[in-house]
Amino acid sequence: MFKGSFVALITPFRNGAIDGKAFSEFVHWQIAQGTDGLVPCGTTGESPTLSHDEHKRIVELCVEAAGGRVPVVAGTGSNSTAEAIDLTRHAQAAGATAALVVMPYYNKPTAEGQYRHYKAIHDAVDLPIVIYNIPPRSVVDMSVETMARLAALPRIVGVKDATQDLVRPLRTKLELGAQFCQLSGEDGTALPFLAQGGHGCISVTANVAPRLCADMHDAWQKGDLAGAMAINERLLPLHRALFSETSPGPVKYAASLLGKCTADTRLPLCEIGDSAKQMVEKALEGLGLTG
């Protein structure tokens, strides 16, 4: 269903509030740069610090700005099943293409609890759902076996896999079939993820290097492995810089250097340190993205 370079969109702030103008302009720029799909209100969009009204407004702004040109996979997850249902119903009403639902964090549900959580959301909406499996942030990891149970439901269509386990996509493909969409959630291993059965990446780096990220996926899809590898190697210093501190601090600083938004984050995230800033500046300069 989904393939190529999707961007895990940042949420621009100005004076403590959402900068809707900057966000809409950012979406237009992403599409013009070749980004294949948009993911608002994920981890990179600082969803944990958005109010419900702000969260819903960002989804609405994204759908409006996209104008049907590319898919919008709206982040709608929560560690409260009822809250996730509410956000997913809103995304459907707003016109999103699909919902990205993160594994319930902090609660540490069992495999059965994970299954029932996603099934409850699935049964409450008509929207395709992509599971977001990110053990480093949610603590719990969804097994391939549990994912296979969920994939039997008609609207569970794929996974954003941020496990960094490069055996996982091949296992998932063999267990669930090639039609189950697998999107990497980890920029540094996106290319080998594709080689192991993946279809694309939901990328942090695409916020500031959308053309290069899109070109890498385009090269892969055309069978140009050498070209994809060359772009992947060029991007690695930027990937490393953007995770030199907790994301999205570094990527918002990078976006500010490109004039796309302020570097502001919301507490408990704060301004990144000088060494991280220098890494980001050097990586952007190395790719010719800044003066």
Choosing from 3, 56, 160, 252, the catalytic residue is 160
End-to-end CA distance of the chain: 38
pLDDT band of residue 286 (cuts 50, 70, 90) is very high
- pLDDT reading at 107 higher than 90: yes
Task: State whether residue 191 is helix, strand or coil.
Answer: helix
Active site residue 173: no
Give me the percent of the chain exceeding a pLDDT of 90.
99
Task: State whether residue 80 is helix, strand or coil.
Answer: coil
The answer to whether domain 4-235 has CATH 3.20.20.70 is: yes
- pLDDT reading at 291 higher than 90: no
Choose among 194, 107, 102: nearest CA to 142.
102
What are the tokens at 94? 């707003």
Can you tell me the mean pLDDT for 175-189?
A: 97
Choosing from 132, 252, 253, 277, the catalytic residue is 132
Q: Mean pLDDT in the chain?
A: 97
The per-residue pLDDT for range 225-244, each reduced to its tens digit, is 999 999 999 999 999 999 99
Question: Within 13 A of 77's CA, how many CA atoms are on the CB side?
Answer: 27
Instruction: Parse the chain into domains and list their residue ranges.
Output: 4-235
- Rg of the chain, C-alpha, whole Å: 18
Choose among 234, 259, 238: nearest CA to 250.
238
Active site residue 160: yes
Cα–Cα dist 55/50, whole Å: 6
Cα–Cα dist 48/71, whole Å: 23
pTM: 0.96
The per-residue pLDDT for range 45-98, each reduced to its tens digit, is 999 999 999 999 999 999 999 999 999 999 999 999 999 999 999 999 999 999
Distances (CA, A) of 145 to 81, 174, 269: 21, 12, 35
Identify whether the C-beta of residue 149 lies closer than 8 Å to the C-beta of residue 175: no
pLDDT band of residue 1 (cuts 50, 70, 90) is confident
β-pairing, 73-75 with 37-39?
unpaired
Residue 5, pLDDT score: 98
